Amino acid sequence: MTGEPVGTPNDEVMAMVSRKVLLRKAEWWLVVLIALHTYGIGLALLVLPEWSLRFGGWETIPPLFFPRQAGVFHLVLGTGYLAEYFRLRSVSLLLTAKVCGSVFLVAATLLATVPWFVTFAGVVDGLMGLTVLGAHAAVSRAAAPVSSASAS
């Protein structure tokens, strides 16, 4: 019988590699799904601005230039999320946008009467940001080299 016995350091290395791969894939999917969500919001505001605002609870519809402008902004932002992640494996833009968006939307909810979608979007943006932050931190920890002193 040849080979290493079960439970050797080689098994631990393989488990660490598998965990790294799984975490990286989960982070990849999160970034892609959030970008697709951002594209969906952008397209809805760009192509169906009046319907989108009425669906979100607005009773008075502003000139359609403004929701369409917000739609283009979302398309650019979603593209930025993907470009940064695929080029640099970074989520700084995504996290910055989610923190700023969430703070702004929750503050608007607390300071004024707003359509239901403002509160909903603030909470969802915050949750998306926290989820990506957690995933990115887990990927970073898994990728960090293990020193021989801490491994024993």
152: in domain: no
DSSP 91-122: -HHHHHHHHHHHHHHHHHHHHS---HHHHHHH
3-state class of 145 per DSSP?
coil
151: in domain: no
Residue 6 has pLDDT above 90, yes or no: no
pLDDT tens readout for residues 110-147:
999 999 999 999 999 999 999 999 999 999 998 887 66
- Looking at the 3D structure of the chain, how many domains does it have? 1
Gap between the Cα atoms of 56 and 5, Å rounded: 61
Gap between the Cα atoms of 97 and 93, Å rounded: 6
Q: What is the chain's mean pLDDT, rounded?
A: 91
Alpha carbon distances (Å) from 85 to 30, 49, 104, 123, 131: 11, 29, 24, 23, 15
pLDDT tens readout for residues 24-40:
999 999 999 999 999 99
150: in domain: no
The residue segments making up the domain with residue 129 are 11-145
Q: Which amino acid is at 44?
A: A
CA atoms within 13 A on the CB side of 13: 3
Q: What is the DSSP letter of 2?
A: -
The residue with greater pLDDT, 14 or 54, is 54
3: in domain: no
4: in domain: no
pLDDT tens readout for residues 58-112:
999 999 999 999 999 999 999 999 999 999 999 999 999 999 999 999 999 999 9
Residue 13's pLDDT band (boundaries 50, 70, 90)?
A: low
